[in-house]
Amino acid sequence: MADVNVLDVLLYGEPIGTLTRVSGDRILFAFNEAYIADENRPVLGLGFKDHLGGLLTDFRPTQTRVMPFFANLLPEGHMRTYLAERAGVNPVRDFFLLWVLGSDLPGAISIRPADGEAWPPDAHEDIDADDEDRHEGALRFSLAGVQLKFSAIHEARGGLTIPAKGVGGSWIVKLPSREFVGVPENEYSMMTLARLIGMDVPALHLIEVDAIRNLPEGIGALEGQALAIQRFDRLEDGTAVHIEDFAQVFGVYPHDKYKKASAANIAQVIGIESGEEDIAEFIRRLTFNTLIGNADMHLKNWSMIYPDRRHAVLAPVYDFVSTIPYIPDSKAALNFSRTKRFDQYSEDELAHLAAKALLAEKLVLDTARETVALFHQHWHAEKENLPLTEEVIRAVEAHLKTIPMA
C-alpha cells in the first residue's frame, strides 16, 4: 500500500489513535479501540466530547490539511515556511509537518511515524539524501505560533541551550522582533504587571541573545534581549501536561483564529468546565488586555490545561503584549460580546457578555472593576521601573483615556 502513510498519535506517551494519509492527500483520524474502551481515558480535547460528555469517534476526512485540532499544533506564517524549508516539506501539507515536528508539540501530544513507516518520496519534490538531518533541524522549532520561538533548557550558569533535536526543553525563548523595537521587554513588562494584579503568570525573565547557545542557522544576526518563559505544559521533571487552545476547543483552523467565536463563547466554556475562580480570572485577563491595548488576544492565546488529565481548567497567562504602540488599533482580536471596539468596553458590554455566557453578572462586573483599580495602582507605581520605552508608555496612557471602564 504505497499510497498509504500512518502516523501514531500519542497522549502522555501512550498511543490513542492514528492519522492516516491515503491517495490524493486525503487524511483520516481515528481513535484506537483501547482508548475508546477506556472509561478513565485522559481527555484529548473538549471538541471530542458529544453533548452528553461521551467520546466522539466519527470524523470527516480532510484534504491536504489535518483536522483543526491537529492543525493548531503547528506553527503559522513565516515560522511555518521557515520550518518547512528546513525540513524539506511543502508548507501546506500538515501531515508531513506533523511527521517531522511531532516529538515536541504543545501539551502532552506527540506524533510519530507508525512502525515501519518510511519518509514518502512525494512529501516534497525537492527531498534529498539529507532528509534525516533536515528533519532533526526542524525539530528545534516545533512550538505553535507565528513568532520566532523555540523550546530550550535552562543551564546552571544562567544561560539557555536549544536542545540539539528539539526535545526536552522546559522553557520557551522568544527572540527579538526584526520589525518592532522592544517586543520581549514589552511582553515581560505586561506579564509582570499581570502577576502583580494577581493573575497566574509563569516564571519569566529577559536574557541577552548572545547568552543563548545552539541558535540554529538561517535566522540571521539578532541583537538585544530575548524573553524566556517557563513552559506550563512541562513539569520540573520533564513530564508533559496536556493543554489545548480555544481554536482547538472550537474546531477552528489557525487562519480563522480572529473569527468564529467571541470572548463570551470562551467564557461560557470556562463556566461549564471549571468554576467561579476561573471565570473571575478570565474577566481579569480580558479587562487587563483591553487596558494595555492588546489587539491580538485571538482564540489561540487562550488555553485550557488538564492538571489531572481529565478535567480542564484555565491555563496560565501567555502572550500579553501591548500591541497598539506598534500597530495602532481600536479593536480587540475578538468580539467581547457584541463589539470588538476598545472604546465600547463598558459595564453594559460586560453585562451582556455575562448574560450570553450564562455567568453571574455581579461576579463579572466586580472582577472587572477590581482589575481596573489594581491596574492603575500598579501601572503608576511600576511603569517607570519596567523596561518599557517612552513610546509604549505614551501609547498605553493615551489608550486608557478612550476606555469607558478605565
Nearest to 203 by CA among 234, 240, 229: 229
Of the listed 104, 233, 245, 296, which one is catalytic? 296
Q: Which three cell numbers stand for residue 233?
A: 505544559
Q: Which three cell numbers stand for residue 42?
A: 485522559
Name the strands in the sheet holding 62-63, side by side, starting at the edge strand that comes first in the sequence.
Answer: 62-63, 26-31, 14-22, 5-11, 109-113
Q: H-helix or E-strand containing 172?
A: strand 171-174
Between CA 276 and CA 237 the distance in angstroms is 31
Nearest to 16 by CA among 53, 47, 45, 51: 45
C-alpha torsion sign, points 83, 236, 285, 378? negative
Catalytic-residue membership of 126: no
Q: Which three cell numbers stand for residue 60?
A: 470527516
Contact by Cβ (8 Å): 73, 104:
no
Contact by Cβ (8 Å): 162, 213:
yes
Residues involved in catalysis: 296
